[in-house]
């Protein structure tokens, strides 16, 4: 059986060990963000990336996909097939990020414009109707004029989806009847259905 002195010694040593551990956890030998350093010649604790380093998931080995350009010119095609699902995704992202300025029709009359923000050009002017999809991708990525860039908020694939939706939106507002099929023309020529107005003072069921 151990003596009381032996037990007391063990308790004292244990307390010393644990108190030291607690101290090292609270006072770690590390730098806080943007803290100065006397160790490095430039005085900065934050170190630049080693040349050639690529963060996991950030390898950009396709300039076309990430810049929207081919040979320095705005890409006229898309880096992946534009399906109905892609256009639906583009419409969803457009309504979230773009319609507040450009409105849902692309006329440049979004809610923030109505409240005093600078009005952007309509997507339906000749210059923008003739612009390539890569142009819109580049504007979303890098910003333009009073518009800031959305590279952080919108993933690359979604930027292309928005660009595709903008081109579809332009087509919807500037379509040529000659490009329609016979069935589409027939639907277009069908008379609109009018709902008779409720007489003033009539009871509502």
Domain limits, the chain: 80-175
Rounded CA separation 173/184 (Å): 16
Least confident among 22-31, 76-85, 129-138, 190-199: 190-199
What pLDDT does 205 receive?
A: 43
Asked if 123 contacts 102 with a C-beta cutoff of 8 angstroms, the reply is: yes
Extract the tokens encoding 124: 């339906």
Q: What integer is the mean pLDDT of 3-25?
A: 60
Give bridge partners of residue 44 from the DSSP assignment.
Answer: 36
Mean pLDDT on 91-103: 97
pLDDT, greater one: 204 or 52: 52
| Beta-bridge mates of residue 147 | 144
What band does 131 get if pLDDT is binned at 50, 70 and 90? very high
What is the reported pLDDT for 51? 86
Q: Between 33 and 71, whose confidence is greater?
A: 71
Whether the CB-CB separation of 74 and 138 falls below 8 Å is answered with yes
Q: Quote the pLDDT of residue 123.
A: 96
Residue 122 has pLDDT above 90, yes or no: yes
DSSP the chain: ---HHHHHHHHHHHHHHHHHHHHHHHS-S-PPTT-B-SSSTT-BSSPPPPTT---TT-----HHHHHSEETTEE-SS-SS---HHHHHHHHHHHHHHTHHHH-TTSSS--HHHHTTPPPPPPTTSHHHHSS-HHHHHHHHHH-BTTBPP-TTTS-HHHHHHHHHHHHHHHHHHS--GGGS-HHHHHHHHSPPPPPPPPPTTPPP-
Fold of domain 80-175: Cytochrome Bc1 Complex; Chain D, domain 2 (1.10.760)
* Segment 21-37 mean pLDDT: 74
pLDDT at 78 over 80: yes
Q: Residue 192 above 50 pLDDT?
A: yes
Instruction: Check pLDDT > 60 for residue 204.
Output: no
Which of 34-48, 98-112, 149-163, 188-202 has the weakest average pLDDT? 188-202
144 pLDDT exceeds 90?
yes
Q: What percent of the chain has pLDDT over 90?
A: 53
Looking at residues 8-30, what average pLDDT do you find? 62
């Amino acid at each position: 059986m151990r003596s009381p002195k032996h037990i007391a010694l063990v308790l004292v040593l244990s307390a010393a060990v644990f108190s030291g551990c607690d101290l090292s956890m609270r006072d770690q030998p590390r730098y806080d963000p943007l803290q100065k350093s006397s160790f490095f010649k430039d005085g900065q604790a934050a170190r630049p990336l080693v040349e050639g380093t690529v963060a996991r998931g950030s390898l950009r080995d396709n300039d076309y996909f990430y810049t929207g350009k081919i040979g320095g010119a705005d890409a006229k095609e898309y880096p992946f097939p534009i399906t109905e699902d892609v256009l639906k995704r583009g419409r969803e992202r457009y309504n979230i990020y773009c319609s507040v300025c450009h409105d849902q029709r692309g006329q440049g009359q979004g809610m923030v414009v109505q409240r005093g923000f600078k009005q952007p050009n309509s997507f339906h002017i000749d210059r923008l109707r003739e612009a390539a999809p890569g142009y819109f991708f580049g504007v979303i990525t890098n910003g333009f004029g009073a518009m800031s860039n959305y590279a952080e908020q919108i993933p690359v694939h979604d930027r292309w989806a928005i660009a595709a939706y903008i081109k579809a939106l332009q087509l919807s507002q500037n379509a040529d009847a000659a490009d329609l099929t016979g069935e589409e023309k027939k639907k277009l020529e069908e008379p609109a259905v009018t709902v008779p107005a409720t007489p003033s003072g009539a009871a509502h069921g």
